[in-house]
Amino acid sequence: MSNQELLAKIGQTSDETEFYTPMPTGYRKGHVKYVVVVGTVMSGLGKGIFSSSLAKLLQDKGLKVAPIKMEGYLNIDSGTLNPYRHGEVFVLDDGMETDMDLGTYERLLDQDLSAANFTTNGQIMSSVLRKEREGSYLGRDVQFIPHVTGEVKLKLRELAAKSNADVVFVEVGGTVGDYENTAYLEACRQLAYEEGENSVVFVALTYILEPGALGEQKSKAAQLGIKRLMEMGIMPDLIACRAAHPVKDSVREKISMYTNVPMKRVVTMHDVESIYTIPENLREVGLDREVLTLLSLHDRVNQRAEDQARMKWRWFVDRIGKAKKDVTVAVTGKYATLRDAYASIIKACEHCGVHLGVNVNIKWVDTTAIDPSSVTRHLRDVQGIIVPGGFGVRGTEGKIECIRYARENKVPYLGLCLGFQMAVIEFARNVAGLREANSSEFDPRCKQCVIDILPEQKLIEGLGGNMRLGGKDVEIKPDTLASKLFDGASQIRLRFRHRYEVDPKFIPILQEHGMIFSGKHPNQPIMQILELPADMHPYFIGTQAHPELTSRPLRPQPMFLGLIKAAMARAEAKTAQQAQAV
């Protein structure tokens, strides 16, 4: 029996063969191509940015691409990870909680991804153990090879079949030297063997050191990192060199010589002003053409599609950093010292700034240090205020003070998730006369829990089990600010990640004092967007959702766009006042 015949024995291992290659229904081996991106030297170099940028170049050519991020940790998802350890939790439309790299893929590719685009060792191991209990391995002892690696390959092929992609981009988190990545790397090596020639391209993203004391770029760490990859049986086809400055030809030559990778496939990926310029940089050095050649994909290219996509993207990129106007927006949260915790907010503001021709400067305000005596000092120089999401009581009273300042001083305000809930509490306390208003999350014995877990949610057991996660439909009230922002749409879709709601019994008194609930669940008394009328405030809106997750470079999110427009109007009004005074 030939190797091919052995491989065709779907999902089976026996005394006859050690191959374990389960194939999803409809999968055509060799038709789908794979680009596997791995890191060496250190993590955090931007594998997701590089992978999504390269994927965008192929997408621009009319090819269908599907990314997947493979994480080494044993968590099932990223939902319980502390932002200080892993940055923001990015929620997909189907409710999967992932790491922030999935946000990079969604923004650059303008795709809504799903659980199929993300996996962890926890998911892989859980699936293997479940199948073992079900007897799926025909009585064999379950082993790292071939069963765990087989499950990884199945995950990749299932994505390929489900998405009908031309190219699947596989990002392996961490670095080559991480023990937890062993299964992923071995599975990708086997994948290349099984799929055949011109089916898999391996990209090594490495780091070129520039010690200040030496004054030159050093490639030894990069060489050793790539050597570690080669020792695992993986020969890189492309090498991307991260560095603070453009990598010199002499350094690229040295890496080329030690890795057998041609010079034209050893490219510099140095620091740039914006990650959105990287696709064009990679196109200019011809990396997209090299990938097409390695994967024999030239015949699938649509040149007209590429020209049109490139024109649209260049319009956006050419406007980055060219604005003459400035506004300052405060992001007031408890993770203010960790920018990655609010990565999507930063990007949403950047998208709006480019489209509106203004530089959006973010002022980070730690709400754990805010009280009534200090709030003015922190916020008097800003033209907009964002209160982001979060969990737990720390910093919440500071957030409430920031919201009170925004409401009383008519500073444009956008509340996200917890920022929505805090706006309800602030309004209840200081406008509706509910002095003891609070959330049962912070004080389970509070007498006026305007924010609470609804009865039907309390029946669901387990941390995270009663979370509202992912994309949900929102019914928009006509003739409101929300309706205007979303071009008169009667129903929109937003992404959620929260557990607590506005208690319906307090809604009438809040409405009597002026609060408008302009977005709600289509069938249940769940309030999802609030606002204040124009005669009370020029721009005051909050949502239980996380609209920052769906902002795109070419399609800025409407709530953020409205905030930045209002901030610009406030800045212009102040400038006019100062000119008049002079």
Just list the catalytic residues.
417, 546, 548
In 30-96 the beta strands, taken as DSSP E runs, fall at: 33-39, 65-71, 90-91
Radius of gyration for the chain, computed over Cα atoms and rounded to the nearest angstrom: 26
| Residue 485 phi, psi dihedral angles, 5° rounding | -60, -35
Calpha distance 508→186 (Å, rounded):
60
Q: Are 475 and 491 in contact (CB under 8 A)?
A: yes
Place of tokens 């069963």: 147
Which amino acid belongs to residue 543? T
- In whole angstroms, what is the distance from residue 140 CA to residue 132 CA? 9
Phi-psi domain of 477 (left: phi exceeds 0; alpha: psi -120 through 50; beta: other) = beta
DSSP code at position 247: P
Q: What are the tokens at 96?
A: 């999967």
Give the DSSP H/E element, type plus range, for residue 182. Answer: helix 182-195
- 115 in Cβ contact with 163 (< 8 Å): no
Per the CB < 8 A criterion, the answer to whether 91 and 140 are in contact is no
SS3 543: strand
Q: How many CB atoms lie within 10 A of CB 416?
A: 27
